[in-house]
Amino acid sequence: TQLLEQSPQFLSIQEGENLTVYCNSSSVFSSLQWYRQEPGEGPVLLVTVVTGGEVKKLKRLTFQFGDARKDSSLHITAAQPGDTGLYLCAGVWGTYKYIFGTGTRLKVLA
Amino acid sequence: NAGVTQTPKFRVLKTGQSMTLLCAQDMNHEYMYWYRQDPGMGLRLIHYSVGEGTTAKGEVPDGYNVSRLKKQNFLLGLESAAPSQTSVYFCASSYGTAYNQPQHFGDGTRLSIL
C-alpha cells in the first residue's frame, strides 16, 4: 500500500517559472527526504527535513516539512533546464524503514 | 569512489528462468535495500537487511529471495522469473540509524522477462 502521494505527477514548465511539488501522507514520519533521479541513474539525496515546520533552502530549492510531520513541499524558484528530472519524496519510519512517494516528473523547457 | 555497484546493468530472461542480481557497497554501511521501480509506482521495497546475516521482507517480497552473507554484498534472487517482475531494480545502502541518513543508490538493473 502506497502511503505517500505526490502531486502533480507530471509538470512541464518554461525556464524561469516557479513551481511547487507536494508530498502528502496520513502517516507521521520520523523525517522526510527528497531525492532527484536522472534517467539511467539511481536517486540522489537533495535534503532531509526532520523537525515539524522545518524549512531548508538549497540554492533555488526550498523544502518544507509540515507541522505534523505528515506532509512536505518542494518549491523551485526560477526553474532551469538543469532542474529536469524525477523528484521523489521518501518518508522515514523509525530507524531504517523508507517509504517512497509516487514521484513527480519535471521538465523545464529552455 | 565506487559507492554502490549493481551487476548486471541489463538482462533479458525467459519466463521460468532464474537469476541473481548482485549489489556491492564499499562504504561500510550496515543497512542495505532492494527496490523495484515501475512507472507511476515510485520505488517499492522488496527486501532489506539491517546487518550481515540478517534479512527482512519489505512491501513486495513475493517471488524474490535475498541473502547478506557479507556486509558489503546484498544479493537478490529470482527463482522462477515471471513477466510481472519486469522492472528496474535498485539497490541502496545507508549508514546506521536512518532517520537523518541518506540512502545511496546504485544505477539500477533493467530486467525484462519475456
**What are the φ/ψ torsions at residue A40 (nearest 5 degrees)?**
80, 5
Using the beta-carbon criterion (under 8 Å), do B106 and A42 form an inter-chain contact?
yes
pLDDT the model gives residue B110? 96
Task: Quick: pLDDT tens for B75-104.
Answer: 999 999 999 999 999 999 998 665 677 899
pLDDT the model gives residue B59? 87
Task: Quick: pLDDT tens for A13-23.
Answer: 999 999 999 99
Task: Quick: pLDDT tens for B6-56.
Answer: 999 999 999 999 999 999 999 999 999 999 999 878 899 999 999 999 999
Residues of B in contact with A9 (CB under 8 A): 40
**What number of CA atoms fall less than 13 Å from residue A99's CA on the CB side?**
22
Task: Quick: pLDDT tens for A36-84.
Answer: 999 889 999 999 998 999 999 999 999 999 999 999 999 999 999 999 9
pLDDT the model gives residue B90? 97
The answer to whether residue B98 neighbours chain A at the CB level (below 8 Å) is yes
Average pLDDT along chain B:
92
Among B103, B104, B107, B110, most A C-beta atoms within 10 A, so best to mutate, is B103
Distances (CA, A) of B74 to A66, B65, B109: 35, 11, 14
pLDDT the model gives residue B97? 60
Q: Which of A37, A48, A25, A50 is nearest to A101 (CA)?
A: A25
| Cell triple for A33 | 527526504
Confidence check: pLDDT of B106 > 70 = yes
pLDDT the model gives residue A77? 97
